[in-house]
């Protein structure tokens, strides 16, 4: 073993310290989102500004696969730190111990946030809506209701729908005359579920399924479908590109996405700093200016102009006939309904 003299050792330690500085300054945090227009808006509003704090964000895209998170937690090989999840997944993942509990004292004042944004394992990022969209160049009479969406005589052509039970069963009941306020009450019964599947069967031959958020606008622009269920932010992005895609807001289903912190991440402190940064009114206002999703921090609304506000799911005109997605209902009955849907879709 070679022993260094004290002065030489001091120089060596100082050099080692200098070598360690860039690594410390460039510490990394892996943030996972759904990509697309949402990912692009997050990059401008959250990722690029946060990178200037000395922590570099590594952005990863996924399609909501909870199994990947579960595998990481179970094997204790955590490669993701902060993950954007949909509302049913924040509840289920919390129950399964996949996410860290949120220390809200590090995020901000709860009173500043809409109540739905506050979860023990998640922080609401934005309000989004699954809506009816159509190509304004291809449809002469604009559809206004889900009954119109189902009416293939009045408006011939294929319909794009997300492959799964969520949202579709609610839309089916609204198409069958159930008021938005009564949808979950009806769907919770055996008769109501049967009614929803019967209504879905009426449209089945005219459905083109989609599985990624980018597909509905692509289908609409290509003319593969005349109408589609779609995330309103994806339609907003297409409009910004000059496409004449339109939204019918009646009976849209609004929901929140949440930031979660993967259980066992060694970067928990940095993860909470990122979430706190992304939850400020200033950052959320920039996000809403880049995609038509509503802020969860109510103080962000004062920083937005009237035109931006009018395109958000939270705008009074857009929200008046909307339905809030029920996390509780889908947590209780989702597994059985998704299995039934898979069997129905395969027939």
Residues 205 and 291 in one domain: no
208-264 per-position pLDDT tens digit: 999 999 999 999 999 999 999 999 999 999 999 999 999 999 999 999 999 999 999
pLDDT over threshold 90, residue 125? yes
49 belongs to a structural domain: yes
Q: What pLDDT score was predicted for residue 317?
A: 86
Residue 152, SS3 per DSSP:
coil
228 in a structural domain? yes
Q: How far is CA 52 from CA 56, 105, 191, 278, 284, in A?
A: 8, 23, 56, 14, 17
User: To which residue do tokens 């924040």 refer?
Assistant: 90
Question: Which of 180, 175, 183 shows the shortest CA–CA distance to 149?
Answer: 175
Average pLDDT over residues 78-103: 95
- Tell me, yes or no, whether 229 and 172 share the same domain: yes
**What pLDDT does residue 17 have?**
42
pLDDT, tens only, 153-197: 999 999 999 999 999 999 999 999 999 999 999 999 999 999 999
More confident residue, 244 or 4: 244
Number of domains observed in the structure of the chain:
2
- 13, pLDDT greater than 50: no
Give me the chain's average pLDDT, please: 91
Contact 238, 215 (CB under 8 A): no
Query: Is there a domain that residue 137 lies in?
Result: yes
- Over 90: is that where the pLDDT of 143 sits? yes
Kindly indicate the confidence band of residue 6, based on its pLDDT and cuts at 50, 70 and 90: very low
The pLDDT value recorded for residue 141 is 86
Same domain, 249 and 327: yes
Same domain for 69 and 196? no
Q: Is residue 162 assigned to a domain? A: yes
Same domain (yes/no): 245, 337:
yes
pLDDT at residue 108 greater than cutoff 50? yes
Confidence of residue 81 (pLDDT cuts 50, 70, 90): very high
| 240 and 136 together in one domain | yes
Same domain? 166 vs 299: no
Q: Tell me the whole-structure pTM to 2 decimals.
A: 0.79
Any domain includes 87:
yes
The domain that holds 180 is classified in CATH as: 3.40.190.10
20 assigned to some structural domain: no
Q: Do residues 246 and 134 both lie within one domain?
A: yes
Section 97-108 average pLDDT: 97
Q: How many helices (H) and strands (E) does the chain have?
A: 16, 11
CB 176 within 8 A of CB 169: no
Q: Is it the case that residue 75 has pLDDT exceeding 50?
A: yes
241 and 277 both lie in a single domain = no
Q: What would the pLDDT profile of 277-314 be if each residue is shown by its tens digit?
A: 999 999 999 999 999 999 999 999 999 999 999 999 98
- In this prediction, residue 200 has a pLDDT band, given cuts at 50, 70 and 90, of very high
Q: Which domain holds residue 146?
A: 129-254+322-346
**H helices of 26-101, where?**
36-42, 48-51, 66-75, 87-95
Question: Is residue 7's pLDDT more than 50?
Answer: no
- 330 and 314 assigned to the same domain: no
């Amino acid at each position: 073993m070679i022993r260094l003299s004290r002065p030489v050792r001091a120089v060596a330690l100082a050099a080692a310290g200098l070598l360690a500085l860039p690594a410390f300054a460039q510490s990394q945090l892996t943030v996972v989102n759904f990509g697309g227009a949402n990912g692009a808006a997050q990059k401008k509003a959250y990722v690029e500004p946060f990178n200037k704090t000395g922590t570099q964000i590594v952005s990863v895209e996924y399609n909501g696969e909870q199994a990947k998170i579960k595998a990481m937690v179970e094997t204790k090989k955590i490669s993701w730190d902060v993950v954007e999840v949909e509302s049913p997944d924040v509840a289920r993942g919390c129950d399964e111990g996949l996410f860290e509990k949120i220390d809200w004292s590090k995020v901000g004042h709860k009173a500043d946030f809409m109540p739905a944004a506050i979860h023990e394992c998640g922080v609401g990022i934005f309000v989004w809506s699954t809506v009816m969209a159509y190509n304004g160049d291809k449809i002469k009479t604009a559809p206004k209701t889900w009954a119109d969406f189902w009416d293939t005589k009045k408006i011939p052509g294929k319909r794009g729908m997300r492959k799964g039970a969520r949202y579709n069963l609610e839309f089916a009941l609204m198409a069958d005359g159930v008021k938005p306020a009564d949808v979950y009450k009806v769907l919770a019964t055996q008769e109501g579920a049967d009614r929803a599947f019967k209504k879905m069967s009426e449209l089945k031959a005219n459905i083109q399924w989609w599985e990624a958020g980018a597909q509905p606008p692509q289908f609409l622009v290509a003319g593969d479908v005349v109408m589609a269920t779609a995330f309103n932010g994806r339609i907003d992005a297409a409009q910004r590109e000059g496409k004449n895609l339109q939204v019918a807001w009646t009976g849209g289903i609004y929901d929140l996405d949440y930031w979660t912190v993967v259980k066992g991440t060694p970067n928990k402190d940095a993860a909470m700093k990122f979430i706190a940064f992304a939850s400020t009114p200033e950052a959320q206002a920039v996000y809403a200016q880049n995609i038509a999703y509503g802020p969860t921090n109510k103080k962000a609304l004062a920083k937005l102009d009237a035109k931006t506000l009018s395109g958000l799911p939270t705008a009074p005109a857009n929200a008046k006939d909307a339905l809030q997605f029920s996390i509780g209902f889908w947590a209780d009955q989702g597994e059985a309904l998704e299995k039934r849907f898979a069997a129905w879709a395969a027939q």
